[in-house]
Amino acid sequence: MDLVSTPLLPAGFKVPASRNESPSRRLRGMLASKPYVFAPGVYDPMGAQLVMYHGFDAVYFSGYSFAIGRRTVSALRKFQLTMAMGDPDKKVPPTHLEIPPVVVDMDAGYGNLFNVQRTVELYLNAGVAAAHLEDQVMPKRCGHIAGKALIAADEFVGKLKMMRSVADDLGHPDFIIIARTDGVSATEAPESKRGLELAIDRGLRYLDSGVPDLLWCEFPTAERGPTETFCTEIRKRFPKARFAFNSSSSFKWFNEKNPITWDELGLLGIGFIFITLALQHAAGHGMSVLLEGLKHDKEEGYMDLQRKEWADGATIPTRSHHLFTGVPYHHHVGQEYGASRLSREIDERLEISKVV
């Protein structure tokens, strides 16, 4: 990994040279060079930082996740500086992390094509690498809730074209556009076709526009058959078509007799795989385990968590909340900039083995 200096760190500390690379260009390069790119779904900045710490290719924010938590992109740039410092006073070495491209949900564009225009401007100015747009009417419904209705295909193509035009106007030709169709389970649409036939027809029309980089069909179940059929039929006309796939948290994958693998998805032409609510479920599980421990075992419930965090060989970056949130970074940079109350001079000299 190539490292470079930055004025936001004291002398001697460095960050990956990719820090100022366009996130869209970075994601586009991975899509071109990897069998598939995987992005865990997150719902807040802390989750995004953990995805970054553990070295995943990308970060995914779903619309559902935005409703649960809050969005962030800039937090990752700050987190890169935090980890590039480590904690010199506690002899914690620097960790150099690449900033993963962030892919976000744009729902149905939050209105007409002019709402799409405004949303894409906001996303690009926030540093988003890619966004997906779906062909539902407003107000839209979750892809795994019944009662979905579709707008006309021509209207949706107009929205896709607006996304590309805005990106080009702002100087972001690498911005990645993902076109999603809910045709498989839609109950209302201008066409007479329904089900997988409608989804395939919609997918072909969207690719005919020349706009989407990736095509995503939302499926109501985890069955492999519809996914294989959709990709195969689309590739009869567009042999080089690439797809996105929602390895959805709405499905009990562990109950599938023959669940489709990520490697198999890659062979079908699926270049981007994501689990929409991966970290929400993990957080709910982890918090529930702790709360049950506190309820039944009182102080031992919390100490049991700490023993796991600080066990030999454990790689839990949040075990020191001071390091994870950048206290050493703030101290050292505060000293560089003459902010005495933020500097290392404010130190209680506590025993390192007893504090995080």
Sign of CA dihedral 222, 223, 225, 226: negative
Specify the number of domains making up the chain: 1
The half-sphere exposure of 290 on its side-chain side, counting CA atoms within 13 A, is 13
293 inside domain: no
| C-alpha–C-alpha distance, residues 110 and 241, integer Å | 27
* One-letter amino acid for residue 355 of the chain: V
**Closest among 205, 227, 63 to 141, alpha carbons compared:** 63
275 inside domain: yes
For the entire predicted model, the pTM comes to: 0.85
263 inside domain: yes
pLDDT tens, the chain, 356 aa long: 899 999 888 889 999 999 989 999 999 999 999 999 988 878 788 888 888 888 889 988 876 555 444 456 778 888 899 999 999 888 889 999 998 999 999 989 999 999 999 999 999 998 899 999 999 887 777 756 667 789 999 999 999 999 999 999 999 999 999 999 999 988 878 888 889 999 999 999 999 999 999 999 999 899 999 999 999 999 999 999 999 999 988 889 999 999 999 999 999 999 999 998 888 899 889 988 888 888 889 889 899 999 999 999 998 888 888 888 888 888 888 888 877 666 565 555 666 666 67
120 inside domain: yes
**217 is annotated as an active-site residue:** no
CATH code of residue 117: 3.20.20.60
290 inside domain: no
Q: Domain of residue 259: give its range.
A: 3-281
295 inside domain: no
Compute and round to an integer the Cα radius of gyration of the chain: 23
Beta bridge partners of 40: 275
Q: Which is the catalytic residue, given 8, 75, 142, 207? A: 142
Q: If residue 230 lies in a helix (H) or strand (E), which one and from where to where?
A: helix 224-237
Phi and psi, residue 39, nearest 5°:
-135, 115
243 inside domain: yes
253 inside domain: yes
The DSSP line for 67-82 is HHS---SHHHHHHHHH
Q: List C-alpha distances in Å: 147 to 155, 156, 188.
A: 20, 19, 8
